[in-house]
Amino acid sequence: MDTELAQDVIPHGDPLALFAQWYGEARATEPNDPNAMALATATPDGLPSVRMVLLKGHDADGFVFYTNAHSRKGGELIANPHAALLFHWKSLRRQVRIEGPLTQVDDATADDYFHSRARDSQLGAVASDQSAPLDSRRTFVDRFEAAKARFGEGEIERPAHWTGFRLMPEAMEFWVDRAHRLHERRRFVRREGGAWSSTLLYP
């Protein structure tokens, strides 16, 4: 057996620093949306749902994304403020799983990000009742045009229900493809006081 297979390629250490390194490499290699991540939520009764969203910030305080709080995922996040994230970077043959509780970002943070978006994206957020039934595509386009006319060239007001959430990781798991399907997995768990422990897992 190749002796290289016996060498760990996912080191113990700071998982947030390791994520930053992997994310930087993904931004250089992934052809589309290296910040795309699967967001898994659950209802208070434990019924799961999952969808793709975009990471919009990460640091020592956690992982931030934005959504309509009136959407299905928004309602689930508010009712049961715990979630899981999954990044899959096919170009690097790597995955990262992240689990933890959520908090809502403050209004100033939500405003800053909202107004950094393309103007038409801001208008789309105003026009959309995300996850609500829609009778026709025409209705949505008409609402977009009405919002465009209402705000003219002025600043677009962020809808109060359009906001961000921050996931503070309590567990992070890194996976890397290895030869012969002898893949490598390392799971990090945050201990009381903030230090991280880790262990390799069978793939």
Sign, CA dihedral 37-42-43-44, equals negative
Residue 45 DSSP SS3: coil
Sign, CA dihedral 106-157-155-59, equals positive
136 token code pair: 């026709």
94, 97, 166, 181: the catalytic one is 181
Pairing between β-strand 48-54 and β-strand 82-89 as defined by DSSP bridges: unpaired
Spatial CA neighbour of 15 closest among 169, 192, 182, 178: 169
Q: How far apart are CA 67 and CA 162, in angstroms?
A: 6
194 token code pair: 């903030």
Q: How far apart are CA 184 and CA 131, in angstroms?
A: 38
User: Tokens 């990471």 sit at which residue?
Assistant: 55
CB 41 within 8 A of CB 83: yes
Residue 185 is among the residues annotated as catalytic for this protein: no
Give catalytic residues, as residue numbers: 181
